[in-house]
């Protein structure tokens, strides 16, 4: 590969009725493999595990791999309580936490926790990111007799990545984020490269260190599914339940990656060529063989 590329694996938390033992099995396999990170995201009005609760479990199930929340929506949480929960996860994992923050796109998630939909702004997210860092630095923001702890392992707390596909959001986040937690819906490498260029420029203009550039995409393998494209379609029908079915059906034929391991290697090479620091694979089924097969692929490439 033309650029050193880390590859992370996302837990199948958005699969229906996912069992705790399956999540533990995946976590242990990811930790034992060559993966750089173990990731999972947040939804509220859905049947997935709570992300902050799962963070503690994953910290106990693993020893090595970076743990990434991709993404947490801070507007759905009290910011001080969120800072405490994330710092706890960071300490339980020995400082392995990476926090992706995004504003979220589902009004039902805001409604489920009585959060203000009008707070879904870049400024509000930046304010909450600042609160996280102030709590992690030991500032007493509550007037309590002691600051809210525990303190994270790393001074300054875990890295904060902005979860977005938008150029304007990336430019705004250069003031506070350490990098980008991106996603490509349709494996558009050129569009991802353009977003990375916007981030590099914005961070440089802000006088910040170069951003960490990550992206992610759904995948299904020919080696574990008789029809990987149908697997992705089924997954999106479940996951994108807040959208009209016709819209999901129109997206599914080009969403993510459906193919062989050798073809996946080619896709990863293309993301390496544009300077991605990490690509995170998002499974569309819970078969753990996917972890082992991708691990073997990465081991051959190393």
Distance CA 54, CA 20 (A): 10
pLDDT of residue 143: 87
Residue 145 CA: distances (Å) to CA of 83, 139, 290:
18, 12, 50
- 203, burial (CB in 10 Å: exposed 0-12, middle 13-18, buried 19+): buried
Strands 37-40 and 257-259: unpaired
Give me the residue label for tokens 């391991």: 261
pLDDT of residue 3: 64
Give me the residue label for tokens 């009008």: 118
- 213, burial (CB in 10 Å: exposed 0-12, middle 13-18, buried 19+): buried
**Contact indicator for 59, 23 with CB cutoff of 8 Å:** no
pLDDT of residue 4: 84
pLDDT of residue 142: 85
**Contact indicator for 96, 47 with CB cutoff of 8 Å:** no
Distance CA 42, CA 55 (A): 11
- Which positions of the chain have pLDDT values less than 50? 1
Dmax over CA atoms of the chain, in Å, equals 60
pLDDT of residue 2: 52
As a CATH number, domain 6-301 is 3.20.20.30
pLDDT of residue 1: 40
Residue extents of the structural domains in the chain: 6-301
Q: What is the CA radius of gyration of the chain?
A: 19
Distance CA 9, CA 295 (A): 10
């Amino acid at each position: 590969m033309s650029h050193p590329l880390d590859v992370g694996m996302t837990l199948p938390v958005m699969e229906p009725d996912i069992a705790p033992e399956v999540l533990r099995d995946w976590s242990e396999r990811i930790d034992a493999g060559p993966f750089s990170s173990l990731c999972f995201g947040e939804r509220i009005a859905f049947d997935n595990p709570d992300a902050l609760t799962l963070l503690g479990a994953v910290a106990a199930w693993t020893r090595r791999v970076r743990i990434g929340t991709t993404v947490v929506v801070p507007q759905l949480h009290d910011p001080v309580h969120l800072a405490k929960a994330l710092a706890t996860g960071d300490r339980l994992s020995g400082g392995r936490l990476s926090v992706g923050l995004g504003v979220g796109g589902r009004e039902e998630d805001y409604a489920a926790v009585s959060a203000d939909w009008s707070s879904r702004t870049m400024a509000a997210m930046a304010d909450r990111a600042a609160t996280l860092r102030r709590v992690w630095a030991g500032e007493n923001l509550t007037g309590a007799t002691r600051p809210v702890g525990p303190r994270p392992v790393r001074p300054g707390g875990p890295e904060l990545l902005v979860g977005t596909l938008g150029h304007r959001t990336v430019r705004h986040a250069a003031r506070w984020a350490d990098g980008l937690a991106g996603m490509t819906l349709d494996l558009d490498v050129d569009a991802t490269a353009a977003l990375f260029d916007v981030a590099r420029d914005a961070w440089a203009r802000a006088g910040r260190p170069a951003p960490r550039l990550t992206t992610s995409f759904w995948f299904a393998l020919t080696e574990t599914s008789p029809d990987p494209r149908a697997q992705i379609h089924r997954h999106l029908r479940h996951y994108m339940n807040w959208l009209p079915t016709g819209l999901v059906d129109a997206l599914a034929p080009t969403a993510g990656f459906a193919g062989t391991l050798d073809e996946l290697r080619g896709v990863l090479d293309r993301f390496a060529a544009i300077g991605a620091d990490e690509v995170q694979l998002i499974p569309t089924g819970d078969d753990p063989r996917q972890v082992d097969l991708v691990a073997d692929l990465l081991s051959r490439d190393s």
